[in-house]
Every structure is written in C-alpha cells, then in structure tokens.
Amino acid sequence: MSSEVRVLGRTVSAAGLIAAGSVVAAAALTVALPFMLNAFWLSTLVFILIYAIAALGLNVLTGYTGQVSLGHAFFLAVGAYTAKVLGGDHQLMALIWIPAAGVVAGLCGLIVGPVALRLRGLYLAIVTIGIVFIGQHIFLNVDSLSGGPQGTAIPSVQIGAGAQCQPSCSVDFSQGTSLGGATIDHNALYYYLSLFILVLGMLFVRNLVRTRTGRALQAVREREVAASLMGINLVRTKLAAFVISSFLAGVGGALFGSYLSFVRPQSWDLILSISFVAMIIVGGIGTVWGPLLGAIFVAGTPTVLNHYADSVPFLQHGSSSGGLSINEFSSIFYGALIILFLVLEPRGVVGLAGRAIALAQRLARGPAIPPSTPLPSQQSA
Amino acid sequence: MTTFYQLLFSGFALGCVYALVALGFTVIYRSSQVINFAQGSLLALGAYMVSWFAIDKSLPFGLAVLAAIGVCVLVGVVFQRLVLRWVAGQPVFVIVMITIGLSIVIDASVSAKFGANPRLLGDPWSSSAVHPGGVTLIWAKIWTIVTVFGVLLGFFLFDRYSRYGLAMRATAADEEAAMAVGVPTRRVFALAWGVAGAVATVGGFFLATFPNQLDPSISAVALLAFPAIILGGLDSPAGAVVGGVTIGLVEELTKGYQPAHASWLGTNFYVIAPYVVMILVLMVKPYGLFGRAPVERI
Amino acid sequence: MTLLEVSGLTVTYGGAVLACEGVSLSVDEGGSVCLLGANGAGKTSVLRAITGLLRYHNGAVVHGSITFDGRSIIGADTSKLVASGIAQALEGRRIFRDLTVSDNLRAGAFSARDRSREKRVRDEVLQLFPPLAARLGQAAGYLSGGEQQMLAIARAMMAQPRLLILDEPSLGLAPLVVEQIGASLREIVAGGCSLMMVEQSTALALATTSYAYLLENGCVTHHDRTAHLLADERVRASYLGTSAGQAEVAAVTGEKAR
Ligand SMILES: Nc1ncnc2c1ncn2[C@@H]1O[C@H](COP(=O)(O)OP(=O)(O)OP(=O)(O)O)[C@@H](O)[C@H]1O
Ligand SMILES: [Mg+2]
C-alpha cells in the first residue's frame, strides 16, 4: 500500500501532505480574503480579529491560570483611551500608541491585581464586575478623557505619520491606500493589522505555555495550594497572568476604538466582558485557537443572523411594542445556541474541531483498509 | 432628620428586595457552586408575568402573583432538569456560561412578548402612603418589608426543619455522601432552582412597585445583588439577607447625601457605591462577612 | 437465602479505564462478607456498581448482573436502593461536617424503609454507638475520627437497611476504636442485617465477617471463609506483596493464635 510519497528525498505520509497543503491554502486564503469579501463581511471579520486579540489575553488569565475575570471590558477601555490621549491629544505615531495602550492597560492590571489576588473563583469574578462598573462610572465622569456620556473620537492608525513625510509614504488607515494598482480600503488595512497582531499574540501565547512561567500558570489553575508548595510564587504568577491579559485587552481596545473611530463610555459594559468570557469558553478554554474560534462564533453569529433576518418571513424590523423583532430573534437564537453547544460539547469549538480532525484522519487512512471489513477496534470505538 | 429616616426606610425596603435576589443566588450556589447569571432574568420574567396575569388576564393581584411564581418555578425546574443535568461535573464556568445563555434567551423573549415600553404592574397600592411624623411610608414598601420578612422566615424554617431543607443542606455539604445515604439529589437541585424562581418573582414584582412601572432594565438589578451576596458570603443564606439589607441602605443613603456632600465622586455615584463597599470589605475579609474559606486539601 | 448476587461484573470508567472484570460474589440473608484487596484493586468500584454511584463517577457496568432480593438493580437510583434496603457508608467517612450529629442522622433516614419508625430507629442506633448520644447537637466536624466513623455507620443504619455496605471503616483509626466498631458491627449482624464490607485491616475483617473474597487487579482470585482465606499462604503472599504491611500479617497470625 502506498499512502506515503517521497517529497524532496523525504518520505511523507499522504495525511502529512494533505495537512501541509491545507496550511498553505489556509494562509493564502487568509491573505486573499479582503479581495474576496464585500465591506460587510470584511468589517465583521475585522471585529472578529480584534475581539480575538482581547480574548487571547483573557484566555491566559482564565483559561490557563484559572482566574475567571469579568472585568475585561475595563482594560479594553483603558487601551482605547490611551490611544485617544497619545494618538489624538499628543499626535504620537500608531507604532507608539498601540503598544502603549497595552502597557498602560497592563499597568492597570498591576494595580487591580493585588486586590484580585486575594480572591478565588467566583468571588474574583464578581469583584471584577465591580471593576467594570466603577470604571464606567469614572469614564462617564472624566470628560477630558472620554468625552463624558457623549463619547470621544479615537485616532485612526497612521503609518509613516506626520507632516515630515510625503503623502506617498504615509498611510492613513481611515482613508485606505493603493498598492501596485490594487486599492486597499480601510477595512482591509485594519484587517491586515489586526491579523498581524493576532498572529503575534497567538505565537506569544503558544510559546508562553511551554515556558517555566507558562507551566506555573497552569499549575496555579490545577491546584493553588499544591502549586505554592511546589515553590511557585503565587502572587507573582497570578500578577503575570493579569498583566498579560490586560496588555492584550489594551491593545485590542485601542484597535477597537480606532476602527470604530468613536467610542462612548457606555460601550465598555458588563455585556462586553461577558462576551469575552463566552468567546474563550465557546471557543475552547485554555487552548491557543480557542479565542479566535470563539470570537468567530460569538461576534459572528448575531451579525450573520441580523444580516439574513430579512429572508426569515415572520420577523419584523425594530419593534418596540411586542412581536418578534430581528434583534430579539437573533438573541434568542444566540442564547439557545450557547446553551446547546456547551451541553453537547463543553470543550467548545476546539473540542469539536478535535473530533472532526480525528474523523478526517480516520477517513484519510480509510483507503488502506478495505471498506467491507471493518476492524474490530473500530467497532468497539 | 426626617430625610434620614426617609432614606433609612426606603433603603431598608430596597435592601429587602436585594436580600431576596441574593437568597436566590445563594440557594443555587450552595447546591451546585454555580452563580446563576439568569437570576436577574428570572426576576424580570416574574415581574412581567405578574403584570400579564393581573392586567391582561384580569386575575386578582394575589392570584396573579401566585401564577407568576408558578411560571418562574417551572422555568427554573425545567431548565435544571432539561439542561443542567447534562453538564453536571463540567467546570463551573461552563455551567455559568450556560446560565448566561439562559438569561439572554429569557431577556429577549420577554422583550419580544412585551416590548421595550414601560408597562403597569397592576398592583393594588399605586402610590398610597401613610405619614407618621412627617416621614412618607409608601404602602408598597411597607408591604415589601412585611412580605419579604415572611418569605425569608418561611425559607429559614424550611431550610432548618423540613426534610427537603435538610436534604438541600446535606447535598450542599457533600453531594456524593448525600446521594449515598439516599437523598434524591437530582430532585434537590431542581428544588433549588424552583426556590430561586419563586424568590425571583417575589423580588421582581416588589422591585417594580417602587417606580410603579415595569421595563426590561429591571433584569439588571440582579447585578446589584452581587455585592450583597459577596458581603454575606456566597454560601450563606443568612449572610445574603444581611448583605442585601446593607447594600440597600448604602445605596439609598448615598443617593440621598452624596450629591450634596461629596459631589466630587461624580453623578450617579450611588449606582456603584455597593461595589465600592464590596471591594473594601473583601480587602479585609476575602470570603465576605459570613462566608467561610473552603478547607483546602493538598 | 441469597440476598445480594453479583455475577460477571465488569466496570469501566469513562468508557476506557477498566476497574474490575468478571467479579462474582454473593451475600446471604443475615450473612457477612468481606472484600479484601490492595489499593486500586477495584473494591470501591464493585461497591459503587451495587449502590448505583457509578454514574456519579462517570463509570458504568458494561457486563454482568447484580440482583438484590431476586430483582436486578443495575442502573437503579441510589435513593431507590436505599429505600429498598441497601445502605452504605462511603470510604473516608464523608459525614456532613457542618451539620449537627442529629441532622446527619436525620439525613440518613431520608429514604428509610419505614419512615414512621424514625424515632425508634434513632434510639436503637444511638444504643449501638453510645458516644454519639451525648453529642447530638454538635457540628459533626468536631467529632473525633472514631466518632465520625461511628456516625457514618449510624447514619447508614438510620435507613433501616437489610444490607449494610461499608467501605474501609477502619481507615486511619486506632486499634482500640476499630475493636469497638467491630463489636457494634457484630451486633448489627446479630440483629439480622446483612453486612458487606471492604477492608484492608485483616483484624476487623476477621472479627466481623464470616466469608471473604480477595480482589486482585479487578478480578476475584480467591474466596473462602474469612479465617481460611486469611490463613492461606498464597493469599497472604499476594496480599503482602501488594499492600498489607508486616504488622497486619502479624495481627492476622496473632488473631489465629488466640
Ligand atoms: N472516578 C474514577 N474515574 C476513573 N477511574 C477510577 C475512578 N475511580 C477509580 N478508578 C480506577 O479504577 C480502579 C479501581 O479503583 P477503586 O477505587 O475501585 O479501587 P479500590 O480497591 O477501592 O482502591 P483503594 O483501596 O485505594 O480504595 C483504579 O485503577 C482507579 O484508578
Ligand atoms: Mg476504595
């Protein structure tokens, strides 16, 4: 049987070839996507990527370290307002204010951390709800920072910024640009930028979990007392998780605000926080791909439902006096989907994908086995 | 001084409602270590059901309340039997997320059925009041306090002396051991959800009598009960009551005095005052005033 | 007459971990049986299969039958089993620490066979374990280890069982206390209740049970009258080789010498 081929002098299994081929194809598709999608889908995708960046951070804290936080929205807000102050008020470059948004949010994590460190489990979850409320209160009252209830503009990303540079070498992300005849609009620019940052973040997290620090995080999740006996510094480990989480939230918040170009304090609410928790749980908690898959599900489902609601006959637009409106229908559907999904596959999309891959592998190996004679091992499985 | 008594009265009444909401949380937390994020939605559902039975179906108010309690108990029990029993043993935050899913479904269903506009509750008190010594005591609030105390007394008697109350405490202490000695734990979990649904309804309609109208934002009130259960300790029903009353008083007193005396704290500071108090308390006592640190084995 | 009959029992956890395989044993009406075996031999799993607690541990009976009083009880609810006369005390006592001693006993009576007799049964049980009678109002967590084990057994007895199942009642207790508990158990058996007990302490096994099964790696390898089984060289060798220490073997031989 030859399910193996020789490539460049090395023996590669058919399954390996298929896998490598799909990775290349997926990468190519990812790069080409902006040219294949219309503005609606592309902008949905940008939101998904930005959410995924922030969710990646929460996953370090909640998924790997086991500290459930409902305060993520606050750190996104800190990131967005940092962008506003540095990029808007002080006209600094995006190359500075994007990382700075992460750093400032991380510092806030460092300040909030010690309070949270004393708490366990759901106590922590509820205290972080408090952070969201208190944060919102501050933002609503400090007009110079947030514009008060009316909101404030967040600068767009500019590369090669400022008056020193010729227009040809600077790119304003709100305007779009053209590259070798192809126009890249502002959605596409934010798409590539967010994608780039997300990939960096995912690589960072993937490497992090393999380091000493990463293993310490996971030890804390498994058994706090035992971890401290193993000589892990609980305070430092949890603080590290808090800071990493807040950093990524800050970066995500800056991009979020910048892409929207205008934010109001009311947007950084508990519902936003909850949707990040939903992302990492639905995606697959404590996995590298979970946040992205979860973001696709959580941010994508309502958008898609709203988009296609027109073709569902019994729905009506914007009702305030009863009757099933599109928003309500999509909410009900979305809530029910979360319930159903987690009941059927508590390990989330990643768990589902794992099953699918296992199935695919079995099918890929399939030709080696005559279909008419099932193996005993398969019967018992 | 009249103002002070006035604030004390309304704070106490509000606190009683928080106590009920918090009790709903602790009953479920005690039985399954899960915070039910759908508690606020159950509360909204209960209040809307009271209004629907009383106004649309013209039932007498007392009957409408009972019918609404029935609906919420049913929703709670069915959810537990139909959904939660399948995820027993899963990580807590998966179960918490499922309750968030339920809350999204209930909230959207309620607003699909009743719309976003405020509606009347159909209660018999409207804004009638008595005025001893210059303080205005609204009947609705007096009834809140009386009823809530009745409900709480009933709950504690049930918890302490009844067979199923004992079963609930035993299951909370050690689920497998409770099963082993013959406690039908699945029925106990369903019961916890039923109790949560019932107290949510009572809390919901009293809450709606305060401004005497009902709108979907009522479900957010449960969020204000979080500081109450944290203050009292997640697993202590008695603590929930003390925490609830404390938070109600803090909120009303802040509302009354902060704008004049500490305006630098910003407008509407009373909304977050409970959270500020909660965080301050937790810095001193990480498991609340009445909660106990779980014994950790290595 | 046979009260409990287990035959060909195979138990797995999570569909993968095999805990015991092809286990057969029986308990007669009024009889007392001991299940011996090293750590991880599968003793607790056999008990869980009988008492309906496997599902709680994500385990399942994949083969075999279990009948109680002639009726199959596989897959039955634990509370139903308690009501039909199978009561148990779990490994490690597992009393409700925050509840009073009295409430612990009440909980044991939740699914009792005849609930109208609760008061009388409680008095009988307290006579079996006198130390408990003085501490009814205290939180059970404050009892000593021995008293906690007594409470665990007393709580099970509140269900008025026909078959009492105990998982390692001697765990972590001093010899004197073990002896006291042994005496109470003999009294329980003398009162007509059948006993099935998992033990690693050979002393307690000898003192309270008349028949014994040896479980090794999930299979019953020997069974005989308790005294014979424990005197068997091969059994002692295998038992010694896996878990029991010198002291316990000495205890066994000591018992025999008496
Ligand atoms: N809840 C569980 N999930 C998975 N495997 C289990 C579980 N409980 C027991 N096992 C496995 O089943 C086997 C038998 O365990 P069991 O607890 O029945 O042994 P035991 O004889 O009671 O041991 P011990 O003397 O230590 O109590 C062991 O290999 C154990 O790892
Ligand atoms: Mg065992």
B207: its two tokens: 């809450």
C227: its two tokens: 């005294």
Residues of chain B contacting A277 with CB distance shorter than 8 Å: 93, 97, 100
Considering only CB atoms, A342 lies closest to which of B87, B282, B296, namely B87
> By mean pLDDT, which of A29-33, A282-286, B6-10 is the weakest?
A29-33
> By mean pLDDT, which of A44-48, A343-347, B68-72 is the weakest?
A343-347
Q: How confident is the model at residue A380 (pLDDT cuts 50, 70, 90)?
A: very low
Task: Tell which residue, A38, A138, A159, A30, has the closest CA to residue A87.
Answer: A159
pLDDT at A378: 36
Each residue's pLDDT, cut to its tens digit, for chain C (258 residues) gives 899 999 999 999 988 889 999 999 999 999 999 999 888 899 999 999 999 999 899 899 999 999 999 999 998 999 999 999 999 999 999 999 989 999 999 999 999 988 899 999 999 999 999 999 999 999 999 999 999 999 999 999 999 999 999 999 998 899 999 999 999 999 999 999 999 999 888 889 889 999 999 999 999 998 999 988 888 877 777 665 444 444 454 454 444 433
Mean pLDDT by 10 residues, chain B (298 residues): 86 91 90 87 94 91 93 95 86 86 92 85 75 80 90 92 94 92 93 94 86 79 84 84 92 88 83 89 76 50
pLDDT at A180: 67
Q: Is C43 in the pocket of ligand 1 (CB under 6 A)?
A: yes
Nearest Cα residue in chain B from A221: B91
Asked whether the beta carbons of residue A126 and residue B226 sit closer than 8 angstroms, the reply is yes
Give the Å distance between the CA of C172 and the centre of ligand 1.
Answer: 19
Residues of chain B contacting A134 with CB distance shorter than 8 Å: 272, 275-276, 279
Residue identifier of the C-alpha nearest atom 13 of ligand 1: C19
Residues of chain C contacting B183 with CB distance shorter than 8 Å: 79, 107, 110-111
Best residue for ligand 1 mutational test, from C6, C12, C13 (most atoms within 8 Å of Cβ): C13
Nearest Cα residue in chain B from A123: B230
Whether residue A163 has pLDDT greater than 70: no
What does the alpha-carbon distance between residue B183 and residue A15 come to, in Å, rounded to a whole number?
Answer: 52
Nearest Cα residue in chain A from B116: A320
3-state secondary structure chain B: CHHHHHHHHHHHHHHHHHHHHHHHHHHHHHHHCCCCCCHHHHHHHHHHHHHHHHHHCCCCHHHHHHHHHHHHHHHHHHHHHHCHHHHCCCCHHHHHHHHHHHHHHHHHHHHHHHCCCCECCCCCCCCCEECHHHCCEEHHHHHHHHHHHHHHHHHHHHHHHCHHHHHHHHHHHCHHHHHHCCCCHHHHHHHHHHHHHHHHHHHHHHHHHCCCCECHHHHHHHHHHHHHHHHHCCCCHHHHHHHHHHHHHHHHHHHHHHHHHCHHHCCCHHHHHHHHHHHHHHHHCCCCCCCCCCCCCC
Q: Is residue B159 part of a domain?
A: yes
* pLDDT tens, residue by residue, A84-113: 999 888 888 888 899 999 999 999 999 888
Considering only CB atoms, C98 lies closest to which of B163, B166, B173, namely B173
Indicate the angle between helix axes C118-128 and C101-108, nearest 10 degrees: 120
Angstroms from B178 CA to nearest CA on chain C = 8
Window 122-141 of B, Cβ < 8 Å to A: none
What does the alpha-carbon distance between residue B190 and residue B85 come to, in Å, rounded to a whole number?
Answer: 9
Best residue for ligand 1 mutational test, from C23, C39, C44 (most atoms within 8 Å of Cβ): C44
**Candidates B21, B97, B247, B267, partner chain A, best to mutate (most A CBs within 10 A):** B97
Considering only CB atoms, B166 lies closest to which of C77, C82, C107, namely C107
Answer whether B272 touches A (CB < 8 Å).
yes
Hey, which chains touch A, using 3+ CB pairs under 8 Å?
A: B
What does the alpha-carbon distance between residue C249 and residue A239 come to, in Å, rounded to a whole number?
Answer: 53
Give the Å distance between the CA of A207 and the centre of ligand 2.
Answer: 40
3-state SS assignment for residue A185: coil
Answer whether B184 touches C (CB < 8 Å).
yes
Angstroms from B197 CA to nearest CA on chain C = 25
> By mean pLDDT, which of A7-16, A171-180, A273-282, C112-121 is the weakest?
A7-16
Give the Å distance between the CA of C201 and the centre of ligand 1.
Answer: 18
Angstroms from B288 CA to nearest CA on chain A = 9
Q: Is residue B291 part of a domain?
A: no
Task: Tell which residue, C192, C241, C211, C171, has the closest CA to residue C34.
Answer: C211
Asked whether the beta carbons of residue A331 and residue B278 sit closer than 8 angstroms, the reply is no
Q: Is residue B235 part of a domain?
A: yes
CATH number at residue B172: 1.10.3470
**Candidates B109, B251, B275, partner chain A, best to mutate (most A CBs within 10 A):** B275
Asked whether the beta carbons of residue B287 and residue A224 sit closer than 8 angstroms, the reply is no
Residues of chain C contacting B176 with CB distance shorter than 8 Å: 53, 56, 90, 94
Q: What is the ipTM of this complex?
A: 0.89
Q: How confident is the model at residue A328 (pLDDT cuts 50, 70, 90)?
A: confident
Give the number of the atom of ligand 1 that is nearest the alpha carbon of residue C47. 18
Between A277 and B292, where is the model more confident?
A: A277
Residues of chain A contacting B115 with CB distance shorter than 8 Å: 319-323
> By mean pLDDT, which of A140-144, A302-306, C232-236 is the weakest?
C232-236
Using an 8 Å Cβ cutoff, are C186 and C207 in contact? Answer: yes
Give the number of the atom of ligand 1 that is nearest the alpha carbon of residue C43. 21
> Structure pTM?
0.83
Q: Is residue B292 part of a domain?
A: no
Q: Is residue B293 part of a domain?
A: no
Q: Is residue B219 part of a domain?
A: yes
Q: Is residue B171 part of a domain?
A: yes
Indicate the angle between helix axes B237-261 and B222-232, nearest 10 degrees: 120
Window 212-231 of B, Cβ < 8 Å to A: 223, 226-227, 229-230
Answer whether B285 touches A (CB < 8 Å).
no
Number of domains in chain B: 1
Give the Å distance between the CA of C168 and the centre of ligand 2.
Answer: 7
Buried b (16+ CB within 10 A) or exposed e, C110-128: bbbbeeeebeebbeebbeb
Q: Is C45 in the pocket of ligand 1 (CB under 6 A)?
A: yes
Angstroms from C93 CA to nearest CA on chain B = 9
Q: How many residues does chain B have?
A: 298
Angstroms from C22 CA to nearest CA on chain B = 24
User: Which domain covers residue B261, as residue numbers?
Assistant: 1-124+134-284
Best residue for ligand 1 mutational test, from C9, C35, C45, C53 (most atoms within 8 Å of Cβ): C45
pLDDT at A314: 62
Is the CA virtual torsion C134, C137, C138, C140 positive or negative? positive
C-beta atoms surrounding A11 within 10 Å:
9
Answer whether B147 touches A (CB < 8 Å).
no
Instruction: Point out the ligand nearest to the CA of residue C42.
Output: 1
Q: Which positions ≥6 away from C117 have C-beta within 8 Å?
A: C160
Instruction: Point out the ligand nearest to the CA of residue C216.
Output: 1
Asked whether the beta carbons of residue C99 and residue B89 sit closer than 8 angstroms, the reply is no
What does the alpha-carbon distance between residue B49 and residue A336 come to, in Å, rounded to a whole number?
Answer: 21
Nearest Cα residue in chain A from B273: A134
**Candidates C57, C79, C157, partner chain B, best to mutate (most B CBs within 10 A):** C79
Instruction: Point out the ligand nearest to the CA of residue C54.
Output: 1
Instruction: Point out the ligand nearest to the CA of residue C200.
Output: 1
The neighbouring-strand residues paired with C6 are C25, C66
pLDDT at A90: 84
Angstroms from C243 CA to nearest CA on chain B = 23
Q: Is C49 in the pocket of ligand 1 (CB under 6 A)?
A: no
Give the Å distance between the CA of C48 and the centre of ligand 2.
Answer: 10
Residue identifier of the C-alpha nearest atom 28 of ligand 1: C40
pLDDT at A5: 60
Residues of chain B contacting C90 with CB distance shorter than 8 Å: 176-177, 180
What does the alpha-carbon distance between residue A50 and residue A188 come to, in Å, rounded to a whole number?
Answer: 13
The neighbouring-strand residues paired with C23 are C9
pLDDT at C70: 92
Answer whether B294 touches C (CB < 8 Å).
no
Asked whether the beta carbons of residue C107 and residue B179 sit closer than 8 angstroms, the reply is no
Q: Is residue B290 part of a domain?
A: no
What does the alpha-carbon distance between residue A29 and residue B200 come to, in Å, rounded to a whole number?
Answer: 50
Sequence-ordered alpha helix ranges (H) in chain A:
14-36, 39-58, 72-83, 94-117, 121-141, 143-146, 186-208, 212-222, 224-229, 234-260, 270-283, 290-308, 326-344, 348-365, 376-380
